[in-house]
């Protein structure tokens, strides 16, 4: 770590790294009520059945993601697939067709109901520091609705600080498919070996960073929630954005000092 060089590009996961979210499970009732109202009384579904289907569908989607994480190039689920197959497979045909046609809109509403997001401490400063030193920046994230993250970037002022944003529902591929990171690096004209990639979990992020050949793969996760036996190992483990800010600052300062020394010696 003493020789850690600053990156040419800093690539960040979204949830758990750039943004912090507060879950609101209590909102799922109201969301189910809206979906139920949409399907109408003739659907034969009651509100409890709609809520149960949404809950089961979300659980199955998580299980599907956890299964595919073992494969070399997992794909992302489609919005219609989530609603028609994971949530509403056994609904009456009209209700199933309706949520299929409105799937993109419903996915947006589902994500908005699930949690509220804010920029994680230290991250705005990290992005600004990167920008100041000409380090390019990007987001590489698994998402159901990446468009909502783009909206958040406008709302929280990170948009002008992010040079590229790669979201799985838009590309159709999920991390740990290394193409997710490679696409971001390519868009920034940087080799993955010259990137830092920061993610908050082992099986998506660390695996993805290693597969993509990222220069430094960083796991950002509270100390108590790390798995010491997980493989592959990250190059660096950090607790939060403040530690990332310190790490970047240190790398940039050392680099600047070394440059200055080198220039002095050659002079």
Partner 1 sequence: MGQLTRPTALLLDFGGVVVATTNRPTWAHELATELHAALSAAGCHELSVEHIETDLKAGSAADSHWKNAMSRPAAPREMTHQRFWTEFVAADWPAAAHAWVTAHADPLCHRLGELKQDRATRPGMSELLDACDDLGVTVGIVSNALAGSVHRAYMADHGLDKRVAVQVYSDEVAVRKPNPEMIRIAARALGTDPAGCWYVGDNYDRDVLCGRRAGAGATVLMEARGTYDRPYIVRAEPDAVVGDPDELRGLLLGAAAPPAR
Residues near partner 1 (CB under 8 A) are 40, 42-43, 79-80, 93-94, 97-98, 100-105, 136, 146-147, 150, 163-167, 170-172, 183-184, 186-190
* 189: Cβ contacts below 8 Å, ≥ 6 apart: none
Which residues is 227 bridged to in the sheet? none
Q: Shortest gap between Cβ of 170 and partner 1 (angstroms)?
A: 5
Residue placing its CB nearer to partner 1 in the complex, 189 or 266: 189
How far is Cα 9 from Cα 184, in angstroms, rounded to an integer?
Answer: 9
Q: Shortest gap between Cβ of 148 and partner 1 (angstroms)?
A: 11
Q: Shortest gap between Cβ of 223 and partner 1 (angstroms)?
A: 33
How far is Cα 49 from Cα 105, in angstroms, rounded to an integer?
Answer: 21
Residue placing its CB nearer to partner 1 in the complex, 30 or 97: 97
Residue placing its CB nearer to partner 1 in the complex, 188 or 238: 188
Q: Shortest gap between Cβ of 125 and partner 1 (angstroms)?
A: 19
User: DSSP per residue over 63-126, as a string?
Assistant: HHHHHHTTSSSPBPPPHHHIIIIIISTTS-HHHHHHHHHTHHHHHHHHHHHHEEEEEPTTHHHH
**Residue 211 belongs to what H/E stretch?**
helix 207-212
How far is Cα 192 from Cα 214, in angstroms, rounded to an integer?
Answer: 5
Q: Shortest gap between Cβ of 3 and partner 1 (angstroms)?
A: 25
Residue placing its CB nearer to partner 1 in the complex, 170 or 240: 170
Residue placing its CB nearer to partner 1 in the complex, 141 or 217: 141
Q: Shortest gap between Cβ of 47 and partner 1 (angstroms)?
A: 19
Residue placing its CB nearer to partner 1 in the complex, 125 or 170: 170
CA distance readout (Å), 17 to 27, 119, 177 = 24, 9, 19
């Amino acid at each position: 770590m003493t020789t850690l060089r600053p990156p040419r590009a800093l690539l960040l996961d979204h949830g758990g790294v750039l943004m912090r979210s507060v879950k609101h499970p209590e909102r799922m009732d109201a969301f189910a009520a809206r979906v139920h109202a949409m399907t109408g009384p003739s659907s034969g579904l009651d509100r409890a059945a709609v809520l149960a289907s949404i809950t089961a569908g979300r659980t199955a989607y998580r299980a599907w993601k956890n299964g595919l994480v073992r494969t070399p190039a997992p794909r992302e689920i489609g919005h219609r697939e989530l609603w028609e197959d994971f949530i509403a497979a056994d609904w009456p045909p009209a209700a199933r067709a309706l949520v299929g046609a409105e799937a993109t809109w419903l996915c947006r509403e589902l994500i908005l109901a699930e949690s509220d997001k804010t920029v994680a401490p230290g991250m705005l400063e990290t992005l600004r520091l990167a920008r100041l030193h000409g380090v390019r920046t990007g987001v590489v994230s698994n998402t159901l609705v990446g468009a909502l993250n783009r909206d958040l970037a406008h709302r929280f002022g990170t948009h002008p600080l992010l040079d590229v944003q790669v979201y799985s529902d838009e590309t159709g591929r999920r991390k740990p498919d290394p193409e997710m990171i490679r696409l971001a690096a390519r868009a920034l004209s940087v080799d993955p070996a010259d990137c830092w990639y920061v993610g908050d979990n082992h099986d998506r992020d660390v695996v993805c960073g290693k597969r993509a050949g990222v220069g430094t793969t960083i796991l950002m996760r509270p100390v108590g929630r790390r798995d010491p036996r997980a493989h592959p190992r990250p190059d660096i483990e950090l607790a939060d954005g403040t530690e990332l800010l310190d790490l970047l600052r240190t790398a940039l300062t050392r680099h600047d000092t070394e440059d200055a020394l080198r220039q002095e010696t050659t002079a």
